[in-house]
Amino acid sequence: MNKQAILTYLDDHQIPYELTEHEPVFSMEEVFAIDMPYPEGNAKNLFVRDKKKRHYYLITVKGEKRVDLKKIRDEYGTTKLSFASADDLEQLLNLKPGEVSPFGLLNPHDTDITYFMDEELFNGIGMTGVHPGVNTSTVWLKTTDLEQLIADNGIPVQRIAIS
């Protein structure tokens, strides 16, 4: 889904959101330099895979957190994880590097992708900001709405604690 299709989907499903347009961003440092309406809701998204490319994982965490993939492997029973390639990202989620987003899970794919959401995103303001398929915009919506939207599209959401 492209940006307009995502916004139309949100409108059609009466999911409230706010949209922030900004310069292209490729790192959280660049995101933090932008005046965002809900900076405590900035999310970072990582697309990773196992060694044999049989299992893929999208991980959404609070933007300032570092993710220890070995710890995720140990705590959640995955095999060794590493970052998926740009080709994997484009083929499976129809996204490019710098655009990784849970909205990519709405694109048709035939590979099993597990979605992990950091429990901390549900605390505080309970808002999460993610790209709508492009890195020049951020969509802000309730974290519970994002979780439900993904679940409603057949992707199980696993809340995990990332310290």
Q: What is the pLDDT of residues 65-100, one digit of tens each?
A: 999 999 999 998 889 999 999 999 999 999 999 899
Strand 137-142 relative to strand 157-160, pairing:
unpaired
pLDDT at position 108 over 90: no
108 CB-contact burial (10 Å; exposed 0-12 / middle 13-18 / buried 19+): exposed
pLDDT recorded at residue 1: 87
Report DSSP state, residue 42. Answer: B
Structural domain containing residue 80: 3-160
pLDDT 10s digits, 112-163: 899 999 999 999 889 999 999 899 999 999 999 999 999 999 998 999 998 7
Residue reference for tokens 């020049």: 136
pLDDT recorded at residue 129: 95
Give yes or no for a contact between 141 and 84, defined as CB atoms under 8 angstroms apart: no
The CATH number given to whatever domain includes residue 127 is: 3.90.960.10
Query: How many domains does the structure of the chain reveal?
Result: 1
